[in-house]
Structure 1
Amino acid sequence: MSVWWRKTVDVRTTKDGLVRGRRPAPDIVAFLGIPYAAAPFGANRFREPRPVRAWEGVRECQDFGPVAPQSARLPEAPFWSPGEEDILTLNVWAPASHNGPLPVLVWIHGGAYTFGSSAQPDFDGTALAGAGLVVVTFNYRLGFEGFGHIPPGAEPPYPENRGLLDQIAALQWVRENIAAFGGDPANVTVAGQSSGAASAACLMVMDRARGLFRRVIAHSAVGPCCSPELAAETTRRVAAAAGVPAASTCLRSATPHALVVASDRVVESYRQDPGSGPRHYNPVIYGPIVDGDILPSDPLSAMAAGASETGADLLVSHTRQEYWLMDAVGSSAKVTTDEQLTAFARDFRLPDDLVQGYRDLMPDAPVLDIHLAILGDLLFSEYTNRLAERHAQAGGRAFTSCFARHRKGPEGEVRAWHCADIPFAFGNLTLKSVEFLIGGPPDAADHELSQRMMGAWVGFATTGEPGWAPLNGPTTTPHVWDTADSPAAAHNTAARALWRDVDFSPLGP
């Protein structure tokens, strides 16, 4: 049925031209697929993001732009088709009427630096805009296009961390244009989850990003970053899988599709080889490269040295059972015997007493569960908490939280696993595409939890206060997100003590 507000014409002026959006709700306007940088292909391939060419007339911005090259096909989200090039676009949701500049939340999607997009239904900004924010989501280069190392040889040289440079370009667009949508360019919060959260942490220590945001929300940040040596090894393997020499001109001659296919082959080779070290268990082959220039240091090291945006408030969160999701979708190695668990700990150079410590905390758990608990804490929970602690120790304000909501579903327990918290924070619980993550349709308690999480995001983005006290020493208890607001479990505190001597230096070959 057609209603009046769907026919309302909403036009805004950007520095590149006029854009026309649509209304997903009577009091919300949405502008989708606005280009913030030129297509990163052709002469622009592997280069820093280039400016958009201005347009005449009104550009229709009512549909999402193309997603970045990838092989993933996510539920109810668009997928990449070879030949689609205008991928550097962003989306804006805002209240249709407002009394002054509103705080801005800029979302960086996750996906192992390899897949995902701003068009995923769970990232729809309508509910958060209705709560008083201007919400921006965007696409950026992924996989080899965004994070692959290209050996010297091109003039000028191809930069590392092109995906991070795209993120900075999107933030620059926000600074220059968001006022036209009712947003306050002086009150921008960068938020992200998983690799998006780790990207946000990188932005906190990058000179090129200084002054572009005021606060950071990081859910389940994954770490650490890659060393140049590991990035170079990845390029050699991907080039070999693509059938081209690992040289800049040859890699540029390979199509984006060819490099996506080659990257998937390399990932699968790690999955099939138990002797391939850490990447056998977590075959993520791309990520930010600590090149000493664009990314001068891993965020943990930079924060410890006081080289981060200490004036930026930081809100972090992780889920209680992060890595169970990867097991459920079949993307992680099965570690089911004591021998495999010992080899896993050796490959990650974990302290001898750490595995036994988890056995003591989980005395009745099978080996697989112990493995998943350790790997989830290693990759996500501990790294996320350390970001907050390093930031606080350097003089910044940091808030910690943990998503612990779980319930019994039709097929057993619904865990507080990776990604389960994001539909709650965005207020998008009723989507069919998130039922697997949250265990079926939400109940009244779920909706109440979602309102509280949205309120924390809005409060933090507005004033820097999510609703609980900031970190004040190592004994500060994280805020717990649960349908019963239960206190933090003793397991979290005890498990964290086991990681005290574990190093999180950039990953090497």
Structure 2
Amino acid sequence: MRDTAWAGSEFRTASGPVRGRPPVDGVVAVLGVPYAAPPFGPHRFREPRPVRGWSGPRDCTAFGPVAPQSAELPGAPGWREGDEDVLTLNVWVRRQPDDGPLPVLFWIHGGAYTFGSSAQPDFDGTALARAGVVVVSCNYRVGFEGFGHVPGFPDNRGLLDQVAALRWVRENIAAFGGDPGNVTVAGHSAGAGSAACLMVMEQARGLFRRAIAHSVPHGFFTVEAAAAASSRIAAEAGVAPTGDGLLSASPRELVAASDKVAERCAEDPVVAIQAFDPVLFQPVVGGEVLPVDPLAAAAAGASRDVDLLVCHTLEEYWFLHEVGGVREVSSEEELADFAGALGVPAWLADGYRALLPGAPVLDRYLALFGDAVFGEYGSRFAECHARAGGRAYLSRFARRRVAPGREARPWHTADVPFAFGNLDAEGAAFLIGGAPDEQDRALSRRMLRAWADFAACGDPGWPPVTADATPVKVWAVPDDHLADDAVSDVRALWRGVPFDLLRL
């Protein structure tokens, strides 16, 4: 007799039938569905290949293996040597009759292009699915496997994995009740950077209609810079910086070598800014996959057919400082060195002294760093997109909590549990500064609704950026408000400062 607990959790894909978890409160989670073949052996360092099909129902009740990395994140599985089937995705869908095709939100996790996975608890798609969105998230190659430069092989393999996952969505999501013609790509940090790249990549054209980019980073390598980083890693691994040499090193050896090179960046960076934030992997600009950086491409109108929603937090880099991810800066001399490494004019760093009178050097450093990498870059990305004929919306996360002995800042990643409706997820308390209160839950409902509405119809509920105006939705407690960037002192300070690629 058929087990009725599984009713409504089986779906047929082009590769074969899949069985997800039994419905919980009307939502089915189908986890660990392969969208491409394992990218190892003869497929290593190559573009993703089609997955081999199956006949009987495939058990899809657990997340798939994560890509090679050394990170261990709260509530998420780590990488285990020998795990090869790392190109999988997950689907959350509300099973109710007569819904009709539902909008699809395709989530790309962040992690400095080096770590992370779709299994992180704050990325659970249940709450969004209850709001009427089919949620898809994917694992993709990170670190050297996904973004290391290998002579004779394609750059940006992690981005190509995401394109393959989007093609899976186009071919299969109708079986889950989703609308393949109404897909929104969404991501945070490196995931937002990936979304920005996908907006301007020819390989992804036509696969989605909208993009949500939370904390989209300014970080793109020239081919020369990527090759220099790979040469350092190859030398640390004891192999030649050639295709054959790098293939001879195991994934674990390249993960270990990358970690060691990153540790030495404070004293010996590949590109100057790595002395302050040792991110070794970035999308590589130049070549067939990403010929032009997203900001320049957006300004030229390459992505005008994609609706865009951008968000950043007000104090991005305070999080990276809290977790020890960036170098400490405490003197004016160090701040001047940082501005030089960042490639911005000295007067810009001086301007933060006027913006933050009486603030210590560390606070000015973190404010400048956060605006350079996330705040100003994301705001300008939205403006360039709008001025080239696209539709764009801009928002900022400003929710702050002050408690005895601790201040929960509006820092990097704090916005994600709010938008997903996962304030009680494992690890969320650290991001948001403790257990959520009712004002937090109300803010989460507003942010989740904005995502769902944008995915459905392209309108999150506030005015868009235009050629002449930049209205900004400011997420806050107890209430949100609308700001005008025309009167922003921070934005005025940055006017005319260019954004360039990371070069040697």
Band of TM-score, shorter chain? over 0.9
Task: Work out whether residues 146 and 162 of structure 1, in 8 Å CA contact, stay in contact via their aligned partners in 2.
Answer: yes
Residues in 2 aligned to 1:355 and 1:260: alpha-carbon distance in whole angstroms: 35
Task: Work out whether residues 382 and 496 of structure 1, in 8 Å CA contact, stay in contact via their aligned partners in 2.
Answer: yes
Deviations along 1:9-47, one digit per CA (max 9) or x if unpaired, are 621000000000113622001100000000000111011
Task: Work out whether residues 387 and 466 of structure 2, in 8 Å CA contact, stay in contact via their aligned partners in 1.
Answer: no
Structure 1 letter corresponding to 2:450: A
CA change 1:410–1:261 in 2 (3 A) is farther
Task: Work out whether residues 418 and 443 of structure 2, in 8 Å CA contact, stay in contact via their aligned partners in 1.
Answer: yes
Task: Work out whether residues 9 and 22 of structure 1, in 8 Å CA contact, stay in contact via their aligned partners in 2.
Answer: no
Structure 2 letter corresponding to 1:449: L
Q: Shift of residue 98 of structure 1?
A: 3.8
Structure 2 letter corresponding to 1:397: R
CA change 1:374–1:24 in 2 (3 A) is farther
The aligned counterpart of 2:442 is 448
The aligned counterpart of 2:317 is 323
Task: Work out whether residues 160 and 291 of structure 1, in 8 Å CA contact, stay in contact via their aligned partners in 2.
Answer: no
Residue 474 (structure 2) pairs with residue 480 (structure 1): yes
Residues in 2 aligned to 1:113 and 1:314: alpha-carbon distance in whole angstroms: 22
Task: Work out whether residues 22 and 28 of structure 2, in 8 Å CA contact, stay in contact via their aligned partners in 1.
Answer: yes
Residues in 1 aligned to 2:455 and 2:161: alpha-carbon distance in whole angstroms: 22
Task: Work out whether residues 229 and 270 of structure 2, in 8 Å CA contact, stay in contact via their aligned partners in 1.
Answer: no
CA change 1:200–1:275 in 2 (3 A) is closer
Q: Shift of residue 273 of structure 1?
A: 4.6
Question: Aligned pairs, how many?
Answer: 500
The aligned counterpart of 1:155 is none
Task: Work out whether residues 361 and 491 of structure 1, in 8 Å CA contact, stay in contact via their aligned partners in 2.
Answer: no
CA change 1:182–1:109 in 2 (3 A) is same
Residue 231 (structure 2) pairs with residue 221 (structure 1): no
The aligned counterpart of 2:56 is 57
1:377 to 371, 381, 397: 371
Residues in 2 aligned to 1:219 and 1:508: alpha-carbon distance in whole angstroms: 25
The aligned counterpart of 2:338 is 344
Task: Work out whether residues 98 and 182 of structure 1, in 8 Å CA contact, stay in contact via their aligned partners in 2.
Answer: no
Q: Shift of residue 347 of structure 1?
A: 1.6
Q: Shift of residue 353 of structure 1?
A: 1.2
Q: Shift of residue 76 of structure 1?
A: 1.1
CA change 1:276–1:94 in 2 (3 A) is closer
CA change 1:393–1:411 in 2 (3 A) is same
The aligned counterpart of 1:185 is 180
The aligned counterpart of 1:406 is 400
Residue 245 (structure 2) pairs with residue 246 (structure 1): no
Q: Shift of residue 412 of structure 1?
A: 1.4
Q: Shift of residue 349 of structure 1?
A: 2.2
Structure 2 letter corresponding to 1:126: T
- Aligned residue for 1:324, secondary structure, equals helix
The aligned counterpart of 1:143 is 143
The aligned counterpart of 1:123 is 123
Residues in 1 aligned to 2:312 and 2:487: alpha-carbon distance in whole angstroms: 11
Q: Shift of residue 271 of structure 1?
A: 2.7
Task: Using structure 1 for the length normalisation, give the TM-score.
Answer: 0.96
Q: Shift of residue 6 of structure 1?
A: 5.5
Structure 2 letter corresponding to 1:439: G
Deviations along 1:232-276, one digit per CA (max 9) or x if unpaired, are 100110001111111110100100000000000111001345897
Structure 2 letter corresponding to 1:332: V
- Aligned residue for 2:36, secondary structure, equals coil
Residues in 1 aligned to 2:404 and 2:263: alpha-carbon distance in whole angstroms: 32
Gaps of 5+ in 2: none
- Aligned residue for 1:149, secondary structure, equals coil
Task: Work out whether residues 225 and 270 of structure 2, in 8 Å CA contact, stay in contact via their aligned partners in 1.
Answer: no
The aligned counterpart of 2:422 is 428
2:275 to 272, 280, 283: 280
Residues in 2 aligned to 1:260 and 1:275: alpha-carbon distance in whole angstroms: 17
Structure 2 letter corresponding to 1:289: V
Deviations along 1:321-371, one digit per CA (max 9) or x if unpaired, are 000000000110000011101111112221121111111111121100000
Gaps of 5+ in 1: 153-157
Residues in 1 aligned to 2:482 and 2:181: alpha-carbon distance in whole angstroms: 36
1:85-124 pair list within 5 angstroms: 85-99=84-98, 100-124=100-124
CA change 1:467–1:41 in 2 (3 A) is same
The aligned counterpart of 1:300 is 295
Task: Work out whether residues 393 and 465 of structure 2, in 8 Å CA contact, stay in contact via their aligned partners in 1.
Answer: yes
The aligned counterpart of 1:358 is 352
Deviations along 1:167-207, one digit per CA (max 9) or x if unpaired, are 00000000000000000000000000101001001011111
Task: Work out whether residues 5 and 26 of structure 1, in 8 Å CA contact, stay in contact via their aligned partners in 2.
Answer: no
- Which has the higher mean CA deviation after the structures are superposed, 164-173 or 8-17? 8-17
Deviations along 1:74-99, one digit per CA (max 9) or x if unpaired, are 01111001110000000000001242
The aligned counterpart of 2:47 is 48
Residues in 1 aligned to 2:268 and 2:10: alpha-carbon distance in whole angstroms: 54
Residues in 1 aligned to 2:135 and 2:194: alpha-carbon distance in whole angstroms: 18
Structure 2 letter corresponding to 1:301: A
Residue 453 (structure 2) pairs with residue 459 (structure 1): yes
- Which has the higher mean CA deviation after the structures are superposed, 288-297 or 323-332? 288-297
Residues in 1 aligned to 2:343 and 2:205: alpha-carbon distance in whole angstroms: 35
1:495 to 487, 490, 493: 490
- Aligned residue for 2:285, secondary structure, equals coil
- Which has the higher mean CA deviation after the structures are superposed, 442-451 or 381-390? 381-390
CA change 1:252–1:76 in 2 (3 A) is same
**What root-mean-square deviation, in Å, do the aligned CA atoms of Structure 1 and Structure 2 show?**
1.7
- Aligned residue for 1:135, secondary structure, equals strand
- Aligned residue for 2:217, secondary structure, equals coil
Question: Could you tell me the percent identity over the aligned residues?
Answer: 57
